[in-house]
Every structure is written in C-alpha cells, then in structure tokens.
Structure 1
C-alpha cells in the first residue's frame, strides 16, 4: 500500500526544491563563471591545468538539470531536450576521465556506475546507437575496476543493466542472467569490493523473468508493482534512499525503459496508467524514436575540441564526429 497523501506531499517538496532551493539563476551564474575559466584554459592551451575542464563538466550537468526541472516540473512542458544534454555530459565525463587514469590515477571520478547505467539506457531510448555502443564498451572494459566501481546497492540499476543486456543480446562476464549475483561472485573471487551488490532484486526479479510476456494484463501487474515500489521510496525524497534524490525521485525511467524495449520487440504495452507516479510530468515527457541530438552546449563543445586536439588517445577521436 502507498500513503497517497505522503506521496503527494513528497512530490510537492520535489518540485519546490527547484523553486525555493536550487534556483536556476544561481546555477546559471556558476555555469558562466566556469565557462570563463574554461575559456582561459583553452585559449592559453594550459594542458597542465586541463583536468579543471573535466571538473567543470559537472557545472554543465547542474545547469541543464535546473533547466529540465524548470521546463517540465515548474512550467509543465514535456520536452526532453535538457535531459538529453545531461546524459550527453555523462558520456563526456567518462571520455575525459580516461585521459587522466595515468597522470592522476587517484583522481575522484566525475561519473559513477549509476550515472553511466542511466545514461546508457537513455541513449538506447533516444536511439543514439553509435554513442550507446561506445558507452557500453566503456562500461564493459572498466566495470569492476577502480575506474568503474560496481559495488552498488541500487537494485533498479542491476535490473536496468540486465534488461539492457538481454535486449541487446550482450553479456558481462559471460552472462546476461542473474547479473548482480554472478558479478558479485566474480568480484569476490578477485578480492574486489562487492558487499553492497544485491543478490535479491525483489520486485525486479519477477519482471526480468517475464518481461517478454504477450499478456498485457501481466504487464499491467508488473508496472503496478514496480510503480508501487518506486513510489514508496520516492515518498521519502530527501532521505537518500534508492529513489530518494531530488534528481530522479519521481522520474520512473526504469519503467519507461521496460516499456521501450517491449515496444522495440513488438510486444504490447498498456495504453494508459492510473497511478500517481506514471502520471507525473517527467513520466509523461514526449520521447521520440529516435530523438534528435541536442544542440551542443558551448562549454561542452569547447572542452571536446580541446581534448581532441591535444590528446590523440582521446576515445572520441576513434569515432569521428559524435552526437550529430
């Protein structure tokens, strides 16, 4: 059961956070300051200071996060343009960080397993196949190393990654079944951190077992159970639980991804949803198949061009132009 009043109050806090708390004008001011800092580094070609460019990518994410929330939550829009840029920045955090693995091997990572999995499934939903393959290969080669800590307790992330592998007919460590259990075992044998990786995915176990069903009523039941699980956790927004953050608490991307892969495989989906979560503004955004690439953010474009020019080993140099 869900405490409906508590859920609705939590959603109001979620929205107010981007009105009374994180204000767009404040985030934009910080963005402009970091843009000027990045321009100085690029124009002087300061390769001894260019790790600052990687750090400044986080300001781009914050700026487009505020724009997304203002557009969709506050102004009741349905565009995914700003969300697309947020996921794109994750990609470039990975590409940029790779340049510093030898120069600064203990540098704090600007991405995480969670951010990469979320970006990967969004690239898939957006139909950006070229960039999706590059990001998946990055995850595949780094997962379980200090450059991609797999010791993550978020059950929905393991669900998403396993569903992605089954959808794309890919594997990690030779499997796309019971991924979290198998990877946990492999990491344990290698003496690597694995204590947080869940062995029981709870509601997601059942979904992984029957996500290819042709019975729409079964799909309705699965989505209802997933939504209930997500909603109970989102009702605790601000408590830092699995869906307790202000970035994605009321955005049911794990359900939307399930619906996406079913649609791509010609499987039937429900045509409407009655619960609160699946009718929030972020759940009802208009995602086209495929989505156009977003316009280049000027700071991101400048940083990408700088890395391409100064570092032949920069991963995007292998693939030519991206995101266009």
Structure 2
C-alpha cells in the first residue's frame, strides 16, 4: 500500500535538492572548468589526451540536468530543451566510448544501461528517427559487452526496451517478448554475467501482455498500478535503486512512453490523473510530435567536430549531420 505522507515528504526533498543540495553555481563552475580543458585539447589537437573529452561530457550533462530542474521543477516552466540536451550528451557518450574500445579496453563507461534505454525511448518520443536508429544499432552491436553492459537490475529499463521492441517490431537476441528471461538464459549458457538481470518485472509483465488493449478502463488500471509501483520506490528517495535517485525519481517516463506508443497506435489513453506522480511538473511537460532539435551546446559541438576530424571510423561520420 502506498504511504501518501511518505511520498509527499520524499517529493519535497526531491524538489528542494537542486536548491538546497546541488547548487547551480557549483555545477556551472565544473562546466567552465571543462570548457577550459576541452578548448585546450581541441586547439592543440591533442589526440593523446582526447579521452578527457569523453570524461568531460559528464559535466555538460550535469549542467543541463541542473538547468532542466531549475526551469521545470523549480520554476514550473513547460520546457524540454535542457532535457533534450541531456539525452543528446548520453548519445555522444556512447559514440565516443566506441572510439576507445581498443585503445583503452578497460576504460570506465560513462553511462549505464538505464541511461541508454532512457535516451532511446526519449528519441522515439521526440520523433528523432535518424538518431534513434543509430543508437539502437549501437545497443544491438554491443549488447552484453562492456560498452553495453546489460547486467542491470532496473526493471523499468527492461520494460521500456521490450515495449520499444514490440512497438517498433524489432528484436534483440531474436525476441521481443520476455526479453529479460531470454537474456538471462543466453548469458548463463555463455557464462556471461547475468545475476543482476531481474527474474521478473512485477507490474510491467502485466502491462507488456496487455498494453495494446482497446479498453480505456483496462489501460487506466494498469497505469495506476505502474504509478503506485513507481511511487512506492520513489518514496525511498536516496535508498531505492529503481526510482530513488534525485535525477529522475519523480519523472515517470516509463508511463509517458507507454502513453506515447498507445497514441501512435491509435489507442485511447486517459486524459487526466489524480495521483501525485502523474501531476508533477516533469510528468506534465508537453512533448511535441515531433520535437524540434535544441540548439547545440558549444562544448559538445567542439568534441563532436574533434572526433569527426581525427577518427574516420567515428560512428557519426557515417551518418552526416545529426540533431539538426
């Protein structure tokens, strides 16, 4: 049962974190430090140090996360621009990481399975089909490898990936149903790490079995169950692995994606919700169909141009201009 008081207290802490906890001026200072470092490497064309460019993408992502929180969560503005920039940075973390798989085979990956899947489904919601396909190809090519470590416990990420596969009629490990089970079994046979992959997806299993239902009351019931599942875990802010983080803990993007794919399939969706989670400023952002591309971050542009110039095998070089 959902403890409403506990949920509300957690949401207050979540909302205040980017005011009382993470100070924007500190994040901005890190961004400026990265600006100096990136500019120096690019100006000198220091290929021997260019892995630092990949590391510095973290400060760009943190900068736009703080800006997004300030605009939407704190000021109540309906603004997706900085959220889009966060997702674009994750894309380029993947593209950059691919360059170092031979030169630095043990280099720490700067993103998680959850980060990449969240980016994939946001590109889908934004209508950015070209970039969506490039990212999906990256996921498939490196699935289960160091560059795409899927030994991950986040049930909603597995749900989102499977829903995406069904929506786009694609497969991974030759399936689009019960993906987490198929991957566990395949990895076990191959003696790959699989222990963190969930054995069940809780409410998400029921949703995956019924997400195409034509019955509005049935999908409303399923969304309500998803909201309770998410809210219970978000109530454990700072402790829950699934939704206990201050970045996206109260941003129900797994529900928003479900609503998106139903709309795209011409299926009815609820037009209002009564619970706290689905009425946060983040949940109520308006996402265009399609969304326009945001203005490029100047530091990210420097990094992309540097990699394009120095590495012919850099994935974006194969696809021309992106995000425009």
Determine if the alignment matches structure 1 residue 217 to structure 2 residue 217. Answer: yes
Stretches of structure 2 that go unaligned for 5 or more consecutive residues are none
What is residue 107 of structure 2 aligned with on the other side?
A: 107
Give the TM-score normalised by the residue count of structure 1: 0.99
**Offset at residue 41 of structure 1 (A):** 0.3
Let me know the Cα RMSD of the aligned residues.
Answer: 0.6
The 5 A counterparts of 1:131-146 are 131-146=131-146
The 5 A counterparts of 1:155-170 are 155-170=155-170
Q: Give SS of 2:292's match.
A: coil
* 1:141-164 deviation line (CA, Å, top 9, x unaligned): 111112211110111111000000
The 5 A counterparts of 1:53-202 are 53-202=53-202
- Give the distance between the partners of 1:148 and 1:288, measured in 2 at CA: 29
* 1:28-80 deviation line (CA, Å, top 9, x unaligned): 11101111110000000000000000000000000000000000111111111
**Offset at residue 114 of structure 1 (A):** 1.0
- Give the distance between the partners of 2:24 and 2:237, measured in 1 at CA: 20
What is residue 4 of structure 1 aligned with on the other side?
A: 4
**Offset at residue 214 of structure 1 (A):** 0.6
What is residue 241 of structure 2 aligned with on the other side?
A: 241
* 1:279-310 deviation line (CA, Å, top 9, x unaligned): 01100011111000110000000000000000
The 5 A counterparts of 1:309-320 are 309-320=309-320
**Offset at residue 241 of structure 1 (A):** 2.1
- Give the distance between the partners of 2:4 and 2:10, measured in 1 at CA: 10
**Offset at residue 16 of structure 1 (A):** 1.0
- Give the distance between the partners of 1:101 and 1:145, measured in 2 at CA: 11
- Give the distance between the partners of 1:76 and 1:19, measured in 2 at CA: 14
- Give the distance between the partners of 1:88 and 1:312, measured in 2 at CA: 21
What is residue 259 of structure 1 aligned with on the other side?
A: 259
- Give the distance between the partners of 1:146 and 1:53, measured in 2 at CA: 20
What is residue 51 of structure 1 aligned with on the other side?
A: 51
Stretches of structure 1 that go unaligned for 5 or more consecutive residues are none
What is residue 206 of structure 1 aligned with on the other side?
A: 206
**Offset at residue 15 of structure 1 (A):** 1.0
**Offset at residue 240 of structure 1 (A):** 3.9
Determine if the alignment matches structure 1 residue 13 to structure 2 residue 13. Answer: yes
- Give the distance between the partners of 1:199 and 1:158, measured in 2 at CA: 11
Which region of structure 1 is more displaced relative to structure 2, 222-231 or 72-81?
A: 72-81
Given that 2:163 and 2:208 are in contact with CA atoms closer than 8 Å, whether structure 1 keeps it comes out as: yes
Given that 2:234 and 2:240 are in contact with CA atoms closer than 8 Å, whether structure 1 keeps it comes out as: no
- Give the distance between the partners of 1:182 and 1:233, measured in 2 at CA: 26
After TM superposition, where is structure 1 displaced by more than 6 Å over at least 4 residues in a row?
none
Q: How many residues align?
A: 324
- Give the distance between the partners of 2:71 and 2:166, measured in 1 at CA: 34
